[in-house]
């Protein structure tokens, strides 16, 4: 029996605001293996929450790893409760 712990890397979705576009955001994941970046552009609305959730689900199904959200702008604030729910419910 192995006496070591295997460390599972968490997948990180980074969210950043779009410059000069109040209420618009980009969420992205950089894949080292494929040398590609997957992203979704969304607004601070209920439809934006659905888009972000679909992006999260797509990555979760493909990579089967835990996913965390990180924010480039630490002062990032969402007005739409559905967006806040997506980020807190999908942990």
The string of pLDDT tens digits covering residues 59-90 is 999 988 899 999 887 667 788 888 888 877 76
Q: What is the CATH T-level fold of the domain 11-89, as seen in this structure?
A: Nucleotidyltransferase; domain 5 (3.30.420)
Across the beta sheet with 67-71, what order do the strands follow?
Answer: 36-43, 24-31, 11-17, 67-71
The domains of the chain are located at 11-89
Neighbours of 55 (CB within 10 A): 20
> What is the β-pairing status of strands 24-31 and 67-71?
unpaired
Instruction: Give residue 90's pLDDT.
Output: 64
**Are the C-beta atoms of 29 and 12 separated by less than 8 Å?**
yes
Instruction: Report the alpha-carbon distance of residue 28 to residue 38 in Å, rounded.
Output: 5
Strand 11-17 relative to strand 67-71, pairing: parallel
**Nearest Cα to 41, choosing from 57, 23, 58?**
23
pLDDT in tens, 5-20: 445 678 999 999 998 8
pTM of this prediction?
0.79
């Amino acid at each position: 029996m192995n006496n070591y712990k295997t460390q599972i890397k968490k997948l990180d979705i980074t969210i950043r605001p779009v410059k000069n576009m109040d209420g618009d955001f980009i969420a992205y994941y950089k894949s080292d293996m494929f040398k590609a970046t997957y992203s979704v552009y969304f607004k601070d609305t209920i439809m934006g929450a659905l888009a972000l959730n679909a992006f999260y689900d797509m990555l979760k199904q493909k990579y089967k790893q835990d996913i965390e959200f990180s924010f480039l702008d630490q002062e990032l604030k969402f007005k739409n409760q559905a967006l806040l729910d997506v980020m807190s419910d999908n942990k």
